[in-house]
Copies of this chain bind each other. A is one copy, B any other.
Amino acid sequence: MSGYPSLSVPPESGFFRSRWVDPPSGIEFHDPSSLAVGFRAAGVSCGIQGSGATDLGAVICDADEVSSSILLTANAAAAAPVRVCRENLDQSGIRAVIVNSGNANASTGDQGILDALAMRDELASGLGLAADSVAVAETGVIGVPLQMETVLGGIPDLVSALAGHTASQGAARFSEAIMTTDKWPKRVSLSVDGITLSAQAKGAGMIEPGFATMLCFIQTDALVPEPVPVLRQAVDSSFERITVDGQMSTNDTVLLQATGTSGRELPPGLLDAVLLQLALEIVSDGEGASRVGRARVTGAADPEEAEMVARKIANSPLVKTALLGRDPNWGRIAQAAGHALAGQDIGELGPDVIEAEDIAGDGREADLTLRLDQGDAEAHVYFSDLTHEYIVINAEYTT
């Protein structure tokens, strides 16, 4: 409908395909259905999504000792599984995670909490783990009670599937189990410098409450003695830097599990590169997205202002439609920046301080840079274009 070719296709040229990602050298890629050493995963069809779709999955770490960190949405109306992970989980020793797709178990009240606890307890029991060492994540429709018979009925199959897999198998079906509107699975399995690392993500839109949410699970046998700041920093430069439609999900979850059995530390930059590429896959697979832009602001008075301006540009529907239209419309960038700093006076902004040239080309990625002269802070945000398909998905296919 847009008149532009759709570029929404799965990765065709290796995992680290974005110009903005700078992975360490020496990486060896593995079959993406494999996992880091010491982890198993599985996915089964329990019937939440219907039509035989894989909709219930789990990852388990075989090592007794695990170093973990979990980041949860800041949404003030967070879903039941997020509340359970906040309040009833040993966040530094997460052995396993159970995930379903098709129902977010959000806005489901006290029953939602009980249901999230029950599915977690059932998996913990089947695997012989302490209940508070199992995380739970859910994605799908908001406001519909979880079909507990369906979910609980699937857990024995899930436990059997986990037992049946050899170590380091099952990531493929687990990836399927966490997908909703995703057009392609987002996952990687690699080794470098004597460690192995695997990751699986889902998301196509920061939020689409008909389906929903960004989830990411990372497994490694590297030593990660300080998992909380390590994950926080990698997420700050990846999942916290993307926007599809400026919305924040009730269910977003990122989980890092590290066994340390390799005896080696994570190579510098590896986790950042993996999470940034996965984040960019999510933007690229954003609802209706055909292109990805990077809005970069330099010369801001302080980091907060740099961030505010970059976000206002990235979320401007005028900039997003200009990205679709191959229109290097610097006036829209100037207007968005002036809006972000409303009440201040930064003078008029002309084409001399705005670079938006590669927006006019047919490449999948485009850079927009605004140079302010207020200081030396900078920030950037990755965003998708706004297309007819976004409206079709969100206005016309709802029930």
Closest to A113 in B: B348
User: Which of A109, A318, A348 is most buried by chain B, counting CB atoms within 10 A of its CB?
Assistant: A348
Residues of B near A327 (CB, < 8 A) are 395, 398-399
Q: Tell me whether A3 is interfacial, beta carbon within 8 Å.
A: yes
- Which residues 200-252 of A sit at the B interface, judged by CB distance below 8 A? 207-210, 245-250
In the complex the two chains form, is B394's CB within 8 Å of A79's CB? Answer: no
Docked Cα-Cα span, A170 to B243, in Å, equals 48
Interface majority SS on A: helix, strand, loop or mixed? loop
Q: Tell me whether A388 is interfacial, beta carbon within 8 Å.
A: yes
In the complex, how many angstroms separate the beta carbon of A77 from the nearest chain B beta carbon? 3
Residues of B near A371 (CB, < 8 A) are none
Contact A75-B325, Cβ < 8 Å, known A317-B246, A350-B109: no
Contact A338-B398, Cβ < 8 Å, known A318-B209, A348-B108: no
15 chain-A/chain-B pairs, Cβ below 8 angstroms: A76-B341, A76-B343, A80-B348, A107-B351, A142-B335, A143-B351, A209-B332, A247-B318, A248-B339, A250-B334, A317-B386, A317-B394, A321-B391, A325-B395, A388-B391
Q: Tell me whether A78 is interfacial, beta carbon within 8 Å.
A: yes
Q: Tell me whether A163 is interfacial, beta carbon within 8 Å.
A: no
Q: Tell me whether A14 is interfacial, beta carbon within 8 Å.
A: no
- Which residues 79-105 of A sit at the B interface, judged by CB distance below 8 A? 79-80
Q: Tell me whether A13 is interfacial, beta carbon within 8 Å.
A: no
In the complex the two chains form, is B317's CB within 8 Å of A390's CB? Answer: yes
Docked Cα-Cα span, A41 to B349, in Å, equals 33
Q: Tell me whether A148 is interfacial, beta carbon within 8 Å.
A: no
Q: Tell me whether A46 is interfacial, beta carbon within 8 Å.
A: no
Contact A142-B391, Cβ < 8 Å, known A348-B107, A396-B3: no
In the complex the two chains form, is A324's CB within 8 Å of B398's CB? Answer: no
Docked Cα-Cα span, A391 to B350, in Å, equals 25
Q: Tell me whether A329 is interfacial, beta carbon within 8 Å.
A: yes
In the complex the two chains form, is B335's CB within 8 Å of A207's CB? Answer: yes
Contact A339-B75, Cβ < 8 Å, known A316-B247, A329-B398: yes
Q: Tell me whether A342 is interfacial, beta carbon within 8 Å.
A: yes
- Which residues 133-173 of A sit at the B interface, judged by CB distance below 8 A? 141-143
